[in-house]
Amino acid sequence: MSDGMKNLRIVRILSERAAKTYDVVIREIPVTILLNDEELVTLMCSPTDLECLAVGFLYGEGLVKDGDDVREVFADEKRGAVWVYTKSRKREPRKRLSQRLFTTGCGKGFTFSLTPDDRRALMVKSPLKVRACALSALMREFQKRSALFKLTGGVHSAALCDPEDILVLKEDIGRHSAVDKVLGECLLRGIRSEDRILLTSGRISSDALAKAARGRIPVVVSKAAPTDLGVKLAKDLGITLVGFARGSRMNVYAHSKRIVTG
């Protein structure tokens, strides 16, 4: 059984008849992220890819600049902590973090009110174009490969793709932590996220768009719904936003010019 799951005794009821049996559930642990030995935040998450989670979270918060900025990462699941050391040894005053918005999403999210300057700085300019049928094929493959979810019904998935294939796929009980893990793996393994596609199983709210913008990802696709603020940010940040991607259907909420049809 994988680290992310646990087998529990349960009572299963079907049409008023009860039977004792076992069921696999997803694990959830508290993980504290320390940046240059300062405690920043504690997330509730699935205990897999903790180094990626921490680096991706810090990148999303703007506290890690790029892969080169990461000097050392060390995760200890038993102690529920990940230590990240950066070259710049920047410290983040706790106060600044606590003043940020907490998002709708899973785990504490970065993000909020982008200033006009932020928007200009984060604007995603990419020549990427992708056929609608290629996106549909990616989503099919994405759902096929989301292994933990099928076993436990308890997690979200996120993936970085090019139009032909899935490059990185991660899972977590939190939809934002799944995206953090993808971005963290890209940074740690030197995988470029620019000009690529982000798939997510979760609804697309404002914070998911902001994370995509940090990673310069021009296309975000979900089988679920966006929020109005997610759509607004996608428009402002130059990101193509696709929701309800199911079978050969999809809704394009922003910058549809990157999706090729017909």
Two tokens, residue 31: 């993980």
- Binding mask 158-177 toward a copy of itself (x if CB under 8 A, else -) reads ---------------xx--x
Tell whether residue 78 is a contact of a copy of itself (CB under 8 A). Answer: no
Contacts of 82 (CB under 8 A, 6+ apart): 31, 32, 33, 34, 50, 51, 53, 54, 73, 74, 75, 76
Tell whether residue 252 is a contact of a copy of itself (CB under 8 A). Answer: yes
Please give the residues from 205 up to 224 whose contact with a copy of itself meets the rule CB under 8 A.
205-207, 224
Tell whether residue 148 is a contact of a copy of itself (CB under 8 A). Answer: no
What is the end-to-end Cα distance of the chain in Å, rounded? 45
Which residue from 100, 97, 105 is spatially nearest to 158, judged by alpha carbons? Answer: 105
CB neighbourhood size of 250 (10 A): 20
**Shortest Å distance, C-beta 192 to a copy of itself:** 27
106 assigned to active site: yes
223 residue type, one letter: K
Cβ-based nearer residue to a copy of itself, 161 or 250: 250
| d(C-alpha 222, C-alpha 203), whole Å | 7
Tell whether residue 16 is a contact of a copy of itself (CB under 8 A). Answer: yes
**Shortest Å distance, C-beta 9 to a copy of itself:** 9
Binds a copy of itself by CB under 8 A, chosen from 50, 75, 183, 259? 259
Tell whether residue 45 is a contact of a copy of itself (CB under 8 A). Answer: yes
Instruction: Point out the residues that are catalytic.
Output: 106
